[in-house]
Amino acid sequence: MTDKVTETKVPESSPEESSFFHPLTSLRRDIDQLFGDYGRGWGTFFHRPLNVGKFSLNPSTDITETDESFEISIELPGLEEKDVVLSLKDNVLTLKGEKKEEREEKKTDYHLTERSYGSFQRSFTLPSNVDPDAIHADFHKGVMTIVLPKTEVQEPEKRTIDIKSR
């Protein structure tokens, strides 16, 4: 039987979610939406348009197994190595990243500035036959490849424990 790499979902909390029950959160969101809708005309004033200012990232992930290792390939288009952090704690491999995009356009009759951002986090629980000290990652053309070399599973040492009677 072969151990498998399993993905562990780690909930992300945004400021809106963490202050969900705060009484002013809803009011602030509605006021922000009102001012956002002001320039779009009355047709969209009473209908909520899609929020395009903030985008979320859900990177596609492929996990493959060879005789020597597990390989995790994650598509991260538009990101660079400096935009992501890969960490290992308590046998859980975690990849975090953030994408920020800014566009500015100046013409004689208008000035347009757009900003969008998004973040993601993916976590993977490692099987017992992965050598944590030999894990390495490569980032090339928007694809991160994480190699998890296998090691021999060492059975825990078995010993007999003396039982004393009282």
In whole angstroms, how far apart are CA 166 and each of 24, 41, 82, 160? 64, 85, 63, 19
Domain boundaries, the chain: 6-11+54-149
pLDDT of 147 strictly over 90: yes
Question: What is the residue type of 160?
Answer: T
* H/E element, 102: strand 92-106
In this structure, are residues 68 and 108 in contact, taking their beta carbons and an 8 Å threshold? no
Buried b (16+ CB within 10 A) or exposed e, 99-128: beeeeeeeeeeeeeeeeeeebbebbbebbe
Strand, coil or helix: 40: coil
**Chain segment 63-94, per-residue pLDDT in tens:** 999 999 999 999 988 888 998 999 999 989 99
What is the average pLDDT across 6-12? 56
Highest mean pLDDT among 10-19, 73-82, 101-110, 151-160: 73-82
pTM over 0.75, yes/no: no
Domain 6-11+54-149 has CATH 3.40.366.30: no
Position 2 scores a pLDDT of 56
Residue owning tokens 């566009």: 103
Position 46 scores a pLDDT of 39
Query: CB-based burial of residue 156 (10 Å sphere; 0-12 exposed, 13-18 middle, 19+ buried)?
Result: exposed
**Chain segment 10-20, per-residue pLDDT in tens:** 555 444 444 44
* H/E element, 32: helix 23-38
What is the average pLDDT across 108-120? 81
